[in-house]
Amino acid sequence: MLTVLSEPRDSAGVWVASGIVVTLVVLIGFQLGAFSRHRQLNARSRPACARVLVSTPRSNRDTLNKVPRLEVVALPARNRSNPLALAVLVCLAEQPRHPYDVATTLRQRQKHESVRLNYGSLYGVVESLERRGLIEAQETLREGKLPERTVYRLTEAGLIEVHDWLTELLSTPVRDYPAFQAALSFLPALPPADVVTLLREREGRLEMTMAQAAATRELAHKHGIPRLFWVESEYEAVLREAELGYVRSLIADIESGSLDGLQLWHSFHEGGDGPWPRLPQAAPLPGTNDEE
């Protein structure tokens, strides 16, 4: 998701003549060096062990002519449940950074709109990646009275993991368990009239969110920012549009009485005899006197 700010500055030094800046990824991840190395990797997912072609001298005295041979190399165990780990790996693929710089970069590029980011979990992710051999400490820096900061860099195993992880995410659909879908699965627990009211609230919020996102995308396009850097916002817009259409359709079916099972649903909440009795009246707050 893109965000328009009034402060005209981002990490890549992009300035807009109108004084309005769209803060998003302008610095290209995986630039020349990373791209060239990525093309050399096999796109297929790798097993726990892989055979890697290496070159070794034919003898101790002959160090110029090397003979290629296959060597079994143990790869780190997969743990791909946290997209924040992928975000860290991608940042370090561009250049070595310390964790605070990683977090700042992700926020400047609005990646926290796509990946849940908080500093506490970030440091835990960094430690996990280091234990798995995907990143390693390069140096420790200290500026003035600030605490020491460890700069990390991506290892070769980390580069392979980035490639394989992205390959898997882009090629294989996964079940995400959206919260709204969970709420729909328990719809009968609320009275139909209440559900219609709540869905209308959701409809209004979706319309507002979509309008804001559309305006931001239009501004990005106007200033020549390549679509490549905001495709995730475009994808979100498609999902929101589909959700809005479904919400409107469901409201219409409930209000018209055409929803199959609607009478049964009504019976659940009539007379207090159904599986979901009416909620009791709220108790008065302490210190209040209802008789006054």
Tens of pLDDT, residues 122-167: 999 999 999 999 999 999 988 777 788 999 999 999 999 999 999 9
In the chain, the largest separation of any two C-alpha atoms, in whole Å, equals 102
Low-confidence ranges of the chain (pLDDT < 50): 1-75, 291-292
**Residues 6+ positions from 48 with CB-CB distance below 8 Å:** 74, 75, 77
- 3-state DSSP assignment of residue 126: helix
Terminal Cα distance for the chain, rounded: 52
Cβ-based burial of 115 (10 A; exposed 0-12, middle 13-18, buried ≥19): middle
Element (H, E) at 190: none
Taking only the tens place, the pLDDT of each residue in 59-69 is: 444 444 444 44
| 209-213 contacts, C-beta under 8 A, 24 or more apart | 209/240, 210/237, 210/240, 210/241, 210/244, 213/1, 213/2, 213/237, 213/240
pLDDT of residue 289: 56
The CA distance from 99 to 143, in Å, is 15
Element (H, E) at 53: strand 49-57
pLDDT of residue 14: 37
The CA distance from 130 to 85, in Å, is 11
Class of domain 31-43+74-171: mainly alpha
- Do the Cβ atoms of 134 and 157 come closer than 8 Å? yes
Confidence (pTM)? 0.65
Give the other-Cβ count within 10 Å of 248's Cβ. Answer: 14
- Average pLDDT taken over every residue of the chain: 77
pLDDT of residue 273: 61
Cβ-based burial of 262 (10 A; exposed 0-12, middle 13-18, buried ≥19): middle
Alpha carbons within 13 angstroms on the beta-carbon side of residue 164 total 19
